[in-house]
Amino acid sequence: MRLTCSACGAHGSVEQFTADTAAREAFALALSLPGGMGGVALRYIGLFRPHKRGLTWDRSLTLLREVSALVAAGQVERHGKPYAASAALFASAMQRILDQRASLQLPLTSHGYLVAIIAGDSPREAARIETEQEQHKQQGSRARSSLPAGPSLLERQNRQRLEQQAREGDATAQALLASLDKKVDA
């Protein structure tokens, strides 16, 4: 069976793809990227393929290692300023680049465009996350404030046990119930 890599354009058999150490490492690294972004990362590095030849597995592995390091850092730096970057933001930015493939000057030579997109989207992403967190916090406080005031389930269960023991003649349980009733009345 002859295969063609959709990312880099390399042709070969299944055995060739899995026999090459760099190819195995590249696939393993792509699969280990968080959020299932391996597929989009493999297609993204295909944008680095030279016009007249395929992208070597060694170069593919190097590019994937660079992407993996950027993702693992959780941030990118552009013009000396750090920008927070989640794995989802990386995947989204790589997909946007792939969607713009027709208008790009290929092959790409660095991850600069990826970093630029992330730097541009990072403040919006941070604001979206902050808004979501604030909404969750408000919803949580509304949910807590809408709960009826009164004894918890555990308190009711304990009171039922005490009442049962008091009915069975347990003097300690009767005394505890009497003291609880006094606190409630007070």
Q: Would the pTM of this model clear 0.85, i.e. be above it? A: no
pLDDT of residue 167: 82
Q: Give the helix ranges, DSSP H, for the chain.
A: 14-19, 21-32, 38-45, 57-73, 87-99, 112-145, 153-167, 171-185
Token pair, residue 51, equals: 């016009």
Q: Tell me the per-residue pLDDT of 44-83, one tens digit each, with 9 for 90 and over.
A: 999 999 888 888 889 999 999 999 999 999 889 999 988 8
Cα distance from N-terminal residue to C-terminal residue, the chain: 85
The mean pLDDT of 140-162, rounded to a whole number, is 59
Ranking 7-21, 23-37, 45-59 by mean pLDDT, the lowest is: 7-21
Q: How far apart are CA 73 and CA 76, in angstroms?
A: 8
The mean pLDDT of 94-123, rounded to a whole number, is 91
Say if residue 88's pLDDT is above 70.
yes
| Alpha carbon separation from 5 to 1, 8, 72, 94, 183 (Å, rounded) | 13, 6, 26, 18, 76
Mean per-residue pLDDT over the chain, rounded? 80
Most confident range (mean pLDDT) of 33-42, 125-134, 171-180 is: 33-42
The mean pLDDT of 113-118, rounded to a whole number, is 93
